[in-house]
Amino acid sequence: MKKNEVPQDNSNLSKSNVKELCYAVDENGNYTTELSSGWEPKSIALSNSMDDIQERIEMAKLQYQKGEVSSIAYFMELNRMDVGILSSYVGMWQWRVKRHFKPGVFNKLTDAILLKYARAFEISINELKNFKPD
């Protein structure tokens, strides 16, 4: 694409002032770089992705309120993690992390284990234990 054709989408996502470096052809036919604020298909995809993440957070909150999962499941979604990522942060097998999603198991965890989760989520043990959703 030509330098003057590099997309500059003015969507909500482009307001973050983050620019992407793109390659373009200048008026002499030489490759050069140009900054792009994005384009519509990318903005739509990112917006859909953010909607999906928000939906997963709300689902985890609802499951927590019903007593189906521990606060670990909620904070994992809130921090945009999955079981694999969280298990690597806390240094435990994935099956153990999944087991800690069970409220009965969570309530028996030691402060040493809870501290690992609290550090991963950048919250206190107290916030993890006494989470009250809005």
**AA letter at 35:** L
Domain 53-129 sits in CATH 3.90.950.10 = no
CA angle 119, 123, 125 (to 5 degrees): 80
Instruction: Report yes or no: 120 and 71 within 8 Å, Cβ to Cβ.
Output: no
Return the domain boundaries, the chain: 3-38, 53-129
- pLDDT tens for the chain, 134 residues: list them: 676 666 676 665 555 567 777 888 888 888 888 787 767 777 778 888 889 999 999 999 999 999 999 999 999 999 999 999 999 999 999 999 999 999 999 999 999 999 999 999 999 999 999 999 87
Which pTM does this prediction carry?
Answer: 0.74
